[in-house]
Amino acid sequence: MYENLSKFTTRTAVALTLGLAALPALAQSGSMSDSMSDGAESKPMMDMSGGMDMSDIPRVPPVFGYSEGADIHFIHTEVSDPEIAQVLTDMMGSPFPVVASLADIPADLLARVYVFENGLQPDGPRGPLGFQPDIFDRPAGTDDYTPLRRIMLVNWSDGAEARILRSAEAVKMAETNDEISIKDSGIVVNIPFLTWPDGSR
């Protein structure tokens, strides 16, 4: 279990992966257009704002990542670790909620987010440490989707040919081939998807 982030680099890695240094993606708009069983389109039943002016309500910036080989966008809402929450509060200038009980969720109920601490530095969107964007397993749109994720820190091994990975399967294959090492941070974070392979909010 993660304890107090004894190494500054690990603290920075995990803090930044919560969306502070990742390049923001363009916000997605629109409503879900999945068809209902009778063939009619699903539409909002009401305006949940009640006619209120929402222009001053804070917006959480989306972050770019990969899942199942596709581009996705996500946000962060709560984290299990108070030290990381304080780091985020200081960096964001606003309180970041701590839900310590997230860390008590059984591992088999959690999905994973893979954060790279080294490797290639692409010209486009990058992950929180300046390397490739984060990778997610169990995306929205799958039967076992969950927004609750354990942060896994990834490092390319010396002599390995670093490259951009875009799926959890590719991460597992690279680990099997001893090309990367994966460290469990012990931190659980709530990361709802905004867009996912073949779908969006």
Encode pLDDT of 52-66 as tens digits. Answer: 888 888 877 788 999
Q: Are 82 and 201 in contact (CB under 8 A)?
A: no
Which of these, 144, 141, 199, 185, lies nearest to 7 by C-alpha position? 185
Q: What is the residue-level pLDDT of the chain in tens, covering all 201 positions?
A: 444 433 434 454 444 444 443 434 433 333 333 433 444 555 666 677 778 888 888 877 788 999 999 999 998 889 898 877 776 566 556 677 999 999 999 999 999 999 899 999 999 988 877 899 999 999 999 999 999 999 999 999 999 999 999 999 999 999 999 999 999 999 999 999 999 999 999
Distance of CA 35 to the CA centre of its chain: 28
Under DSSP, the state recorded for 107 is G
pTM of the model: 0.74
Which of these, 97, 102, 105, lies nearest to 75 by C-alpha position? 97
Output the CA torsion 11→137→104→194 (10° steps): 80
Which residue is it, tokens 């390995």?
Answer: 160
Q: List the chain domain ranges.
A: 8-24+59-200
Q: What are phi and psi of 33, to 5 degrees?
A: -120, 25
- Please state at what angle helix 82-92 crosses helix 8-17, rounded to 10 degrees: 70
Which of these, 197, 176, 175, lies nearest to 69 by C-alpha position? 197
**pLDDT for the residue 29:** 36
Which residue is it, tokens 């090309």?
Answer: 179
